[in-house]
Chains A and B, each alone.
Chain A
Amino acid sequence: MDLVPSVKEKLNYFRIKELKDVLTQLHLSKQGKKQDLVDRILSVLSDEQVSKMWAKKNAGGKEQVAKLVDDTYRKMKISGATDLASKGQGASDSSSVKVKGEIDDSFQPETKIRCLCGSRLETGDLVKCDDRRCQVWQHISCVIIPEKPAEGIPPVPDKFYCELCRLNRADPFWVAVAHPLLPVKLTTTSNPTDGTNPVQSVERTFQLTRADKDLVSKPEVDVEAWCMLLNDKVPFRMQWPQYTDLQVNGVPVRATNRPGSQLLGANGRDDGPIITPYTKDGINKISLTGCDARIFCLGVRIVRRRNMQQILNLIPKESDGERFEDALARVCRCVGGGNTDGDADSDSDLEVVSDTFSVNLRCPMSGSRMKIAGRFNPCIHMGCFDLEVFVEMNQRSRKWQCPICLKNYALENIIIDPYFNRITSMMLNCGEEITEVEVKPDGSWRVKTKSESERQELGSLAQWHLPDGSPCVSADGDFKRVDTLKQVKQEGVSDSPTGLKLGIRKNRNGVWEVSKPEGTNTSSGNKLKGVFGNPEQVVIPMSSSATGSGRDGDDPSVNQGGGGNIDYSAATGIEIDSLCLNNVDLAYEYTAHDTSAQAGGTEVIVLSDSEEDNDLLVSPPIAYRNNQNDATDGYSVQPPVIVDSYTEDHNLVGGNSCLGLFPNDDDFGMSSLWSMPSGSQAGPGFQLFGSDADVSDALVHLQHGPVNCSSSLNGYALAPDTALGSGSILHDSSAGRLDADLNGGLVDNPLAFGGDDPSLQIFLPTRPADSSIQNELRDQANVANGVCTEEDWISLSLGGGAGGSNGDASTQNGLNSRHQIPTRDVGTNTLDDTASLLLGMNDVRTDRPSRQRSDSPFSFPRQRRSVRPRLYLSIDSDSE
């Protein structure tokens, strides 16, 4: 097929006459613009239907066409028809040279003032075109037109472009080379009194020099008449008046195809008719009459056609368009904000706890997966389109409108989305049917697969990748498929001041140990068994904040009681260091589920108060229960499964796995709230427990008690950086920072989890102070890390409760833990509605987290439980 380029080059030199000759010999239609003729000939050479059609009639096929073109070309050269031969190179070269600066050349040097009125005097107020290269001044009274004549002159818009700059943006496929007739306004000639539109008209002459004519003789250059509505709401388009009558040198030219009475809709685009055939050297006359009340201007320009490739070249390279960080921040905001999904219903009561979002990479125009992800820079949404498809479609439609938000832009606003383009380019070799990726609120992603076989086919793409495209440290196979849901229910908290501290951990032998509070935190060396707190303090490790609300009873909105704070630092496997129960009677029951049998070595801890809750889950392979005082208090701990996301945290320097214990005094109002601080967005996936003022006290308290938080983060299980740090902190957390955060930061919003994640997830896992992997706690479990410390951390995530707590930090804050502690039986009823907090990471694999509200495992059985506050903790262990 090397015929095509050579033929194409020759065709570029052809005049209409030669083109028609060739078409005649091919028995093809000679109608249409010059470019149409060229295209028609070329299409014969390409593989499409036309060639088949034609080939039937003419056995010679493509070779013959090529020969025909060749002959014609030679004839043309011999006859000296044009001087084209001397110009030697391809048309594209020469055009690209001239394209530059054509606007400047034409007027800017001449004058700073160019106005529709033709005057160059500085009379009245001026307005400057915002185009960087144009910067021409115009009279405000001439160019700023009010919507209705009665209204006076409206304020100058933020961005003002002169007509020529608007025209240039209207259709970048035609670029102006010269302006034989600068825009002039139409003037009203008759003003009917019967209410019909006035007739307006303009008649001008313009000159085409010999040089212009030579230029126009090139196939890609033409003379175009154009018309524009001055105060068009769609600034970058042409528009002709109603009942347009355009004449060039006395010859009527059809300007638009719409019926005279029809107005141009918001989505319509008028065209500029090519008037090349009607023009001659020297003076030409053009006249336009319309019947319209609005104000238009008419101009004539010489335009050069650009091809697709030239347009694509105008779009900045991926690296020049937008910083990757900006793109990532946008994605995090959109994914984490929860409202990005256009189709997700926004029923806040049922805000879904989701860990990942599915993003469809299909181009809205073509329906296929994007190859190059393009977007308009000013758009706030993260939706993209396929760049090439979009440009190609706009070649015809000339809309330059964002297909997602329908805003009108221009070519200059198009950029390549560095975030999604990275993904789409990595997926270039994937099957056509694979169009979705899952994105976590921190920007990490993986290709979404529907089946195991698909996953295997995809190989590494089905694994989580960091936002920059590098694979996350892979979790080992054990993590796969473990979907665990943890439920924690707090049945009651006794109000007795004495704290009960309970620590559970699995020692190296794999035996679970429950340690009772020693009363001092100092004991927690490496492994704080979870007792931090002064004796009088009640430490509740696993209390779910949700429970708090229940207790309050009076304030339904307060869902998440800080009273129960649970910190699990989960290590990949396995240790629960300390669970502190502050209930004297051990109101808590923890049931661990390991939903997935496949978990293998991994262990899951599910806390729940009753088996029923567990029903939702796959029954745990291993049941581990500690019942302390009463039967009701159950502590069943199953071997924790590690969620990948958490795993990263595991490498604590301290080696301390800390369960978050928050000493709760009655006195503390620890409202550990699951608030979603807005600021947290920066932090990918973390949620902080929002603490309000009360919390701060509590924290302060805590700090005293537990002693040093620094490396081990010991005392505060939750405090551990991840949880505590605002999301952003996590990002760049260095050891030093962590400390600071823990200490100081706690006070501020220690418990709050960054709300970035729509599903409230609380990661209790402490983050190793020195952990090198800062960003993505949630992402992959860093198995290696987690494992190496013998201690296992369990991180629990708290899902956004039914309470719709997500968005609404304020309601959640405000809880006082005090209330919580005292009552076990107090008004738990609220839980039913709002209080139940789902702690859970969703199963990563859920296809549509948002949809699952009703039937998902995260919904709580509400019937009989209503009495008690519930907290569900789920561990999502789907690590891959």
Chain B
Amino acid sequence: MTSSSGAARKNLSKIACNRLQKELVEWQVNPPTGFKHKVTDNLQRWVVEVIGAPGTLYANETYQLQVDFPENYPMEAPQVIFLHPAPLHPHIYSNGHICLDILYDSWSPAMTVSSICISILSMLSSSTTKQRPEDNDRYVKNCRNGRSPKETRWWFHDDKV
């Protein structure tokens, strides 16, 4: 189940652990451009620094992504949110929640942290305006008690940005 906060989370399964270790090694060997993994000893929560791609609205801006892995990753998608401050983007809420289908319904176990990162960067890069989603206030209010974005029923409507 998708518990909302890290504290109550169950430990990673063995498979998840192995898989994450492999991903980490792979990341170290071949990190996606524009991303930096901030080293911690917590395999279950990664913090990744994102640098806006040059030539886009977010050039030279740095944001932080927090990736939390569920117990049975990769069968279940990790929870990915932007730490404060979240970039201004039509699909990113001010509480850091990201409306991106691969993080929810379209997640596939074949994806990896680095493929997620690339998707997010591409989402940022293709944005033409820096603005919050229209329903930002309502949504953020709804999520006040630390709800996970994975409990949101997302509606993915825009394939352009």
State which of A262, A366, A397, A399 has its C-beta within 8 Å of the C-beta of B153: A262
The answer to whether the Cβ of A428 comes within 8 Å of any Cβ in the partner chain is no
Q: Is the CB of A403 within 8 A of B151?
A: no
Q: Is the CB of B75 within 8 A of A257?
A: no
A522 and B104 CA atoms in complex are apart in Å by: 72
Q: Is the CB of B75 within 8 A of A365?
A: yes
Q: Is the CB of B1 within 8 A of A393?
A: no
Q: Is the CB of B109 within 8 A of A364?
A: yes
Q: Is the CB of B106 within 8 A of A258?
A: no
A265 and B22 CA atoms in complex are apart in Å by: 28
Min Cβ gap B72→A in Å is 5
The answer to whether the Cβ of B76 comes within 8 Å of any Cβ in the partner chain is yes
**Which residues of A241-290 have CB atoms within 8 Å of chain B's CB atoms?**
257-259, 262-263, 265-267
Q: Is the CB of B77 within 8 A of A367?
A: no
B23 contacts across to A, CB distance below 8 A: 367
Q: Which residue of A lies closest to B11 (CB)?
A: A49
| 1/0 contact string of A364-393 vs chain B (CB within 8 Å) | 111110000000000000010000010011
14 additional A-B residue pairs with CB within 8 Å, beyond A366-B22, A367-B112, A399-B75 = A258-B1, A259-B151, A263-B153, A267-B76, A267-B104, A364-B110, A366-B18, A367-B19, A392-B15, A393-B74, A393-B109, A397-B76, A404-B110, A406-B108
Contacts known (A393-B15, A403-B110); A365 close to B74, Cβ less than 8 A: yes
Contacts known (A267-B105, A368-B22, A389-B15); A396 close to B151, Cβ less than 8 A: no
B153 contacts across to A, CB distance below 8 A: 262-263, 265
A389 and B109 CA atoms in complex are apart in Å by: 12
**Which residues of B1-52 have CB atoms within 8 Å of chain A's CB atoms?**
1, 13, 15, 18-19, 22-23, 26
B106 contacts across to A, CB distance below 8 A: 406
Closest 8 CB pairs of A and B: A364-B110, A367-B22, A397-B75, A257-B1, A403-B109, A403-B110, A266-B105, A396-B72
Min Cβ gap A848→B in Å is 13
Q: Which residue of B lies closest to A366 (CB)?
A: B19
Q: Is the CB of A367 within 8 A of B72?
A: no
A393 contacts across to B, CB distance below 8 A: 15, 72, 74-75, 109
The answer to whether the Cβ of B107 comes within 8 Å of any Cβ in the partner chain is yes
Min Cβ gap B25→A in Å is 9
Q: Which residue of A lies closest to B101 (CB)?
A: A266
The answer to whether the Cβ of A394 comes within 8 Å of any Cβ in the partner chain is yes
| 1/0 contact string of B91-130 vs chain A (CB within 8 Å) | 0000000000000111111101000000000000000000
Name the interface size band of chain A.
20 to 34
A368 and B15 CA atoms in complex are apart in Å by: 10
Q: Is the CB of A267 within 8 A of B77?
A: yes
Q: Is the CB of A365 within 8 A of B15?
A: yes
Q: Is the CB of A367 within 8 A of B18?
A: yes
Min Cβ gap B150→A in Å is 8
Min Cβ gap A865→B in Å is 34
A666 and B24 CA atoms in complex are apart in Å by: 64
Q: Which residue of A lies closest to B107 (CB)?
A: A267
Contacts known (A263-B153, A404-B110); A397 close to B72, Cβ less than 8 A: yes
Min Cβ gap A354→B in Å is 22
Q: Is the CB of B19 within 8 A of A262?
A: no
Chain B interface residue count, Cβ-Cβ cutoff 8 angstroms: 24
B112 contacts across to A, CB distance below 8 A: 367
A406 and B74 CA atoms in complex are apart in Å by: 13
**Which residues of B56-97 have CB atoms within 8 Å of chain A's CB atoms?**
71-72, 74-77
B residues whose Cβ falls under 8 Å from a Cβ of A: 1, 13, 15, 18-19, 22-23, 26, 71-72, 74-77, 104-110, 112, 151, 153
Min Cβ gap B103→A in Å is 11
A367 and B19 CA atoms in complex are apart in Å by: 6
B19 contacts across to A, CB distance below 8 A: 365-367
Cβ contacts A to B, 13 pairs, < 8 Å? A258-B1, A262-B151, A262-B153, A265-B153, A365-B15, A365-B75, A365-B109, A366-B18, A367-B22, A389-B15, A393-B75, A396-B13, A397-B75
Min Cβ gap A738→B in Å is 44
| 1/0 contact string of A604-648 vs chain B (CB within 8 Å) | 000000000000000000000000000000000000000000000
Min Cβ gap B121→A in Å is 16
Min Cβ gap B44→A in Å is 15
Residue of A267, A399, A403 most packed against chain B (CB within 10 A): A267
Min Cβ gap A417→B in Å is 16
A393 and B13 CA atoms in complex are apart in Å by: 9
B151 contacts across to A, CB distance below 8 A: 258-259, 262
Contacts known (A258-B151, A403-B110); A265 close to B105, Cβ less than 8 A: yes
A397 and B76 CA atoms in complex are apart in Å by: 8
A560 and B105 CA atoms in complex are apart in Å by: 47
Residue of A364, A366, A393 most packed against chain B (CB within 10 A): A393
B71 contacts across to A, CB distance below 8 A: 396
**Which residues of A381-432 have CB atoms within 8 Å of chain B's CB atoms?**
383, 389, 392-394, 396-397, 399, 403-404, 406
Q: Which residue of B lies closest to A263 (CB)?
A: B153
Min Cβ gap B94→A in Å is 22
Residue of A364, A389, A399 most packed against chain B (CB within 10 A): A364
A155 and B77 CA atoms in complex are apart in Å by: 34
Residue of B19, B22, B105, B112 most packed against chain A (CB within 10 A): B19
A778 and B105 CA atoms in complex are apart in Å by: 44
State which of B22, B75, B77 has its C-beta within 8 Å of the C-beta of A394: B75
B110 contacts across to A, CB distance below 8 A: 364-365, 383, 403-404
**Which residues of A310-367 have CB atoms within 8 Å of chain B's CB atoms?**
364-367
Min Cβ gap A132→B in Å is 29
Q: Which residue of B lies closest to A389 (CB)?
A: B15
Q: Is the CB of A396 within 8 A of B75?
A: yes
Q: Which residue of A lies closest to B109 (CB)?
A: A403
A367 and B15 CA atoms in complex are apart in Å by: 10
Min Cβ gap A229→B in Å is 15
Q: Is the CB of A403 within 8 A of B108?
A: yes
A284 and B127 CA atoms in complex are apart in Å by: 59
Q: Which residue of A lies closest to B3 (CB)?
A: A257
**Which residues of A208-266 have CB atoms within 8 Å of chain B's CB atoms?**
257-259, 262-263, 265-266
Min Cβ gap B37→A in Å is 16
A259 and B151 CA atoms in complex are apart in Å by: 8
B107 contacts across to A, CB distance below 8 A: 267
A366 and B23 CA atoms in complex are apart in Å by: 10
Min Cβ gap A709→B in Å is 50
**Which residues of A440-485 have CB atoms within 8 Å of chain B's CB atoms?**
none
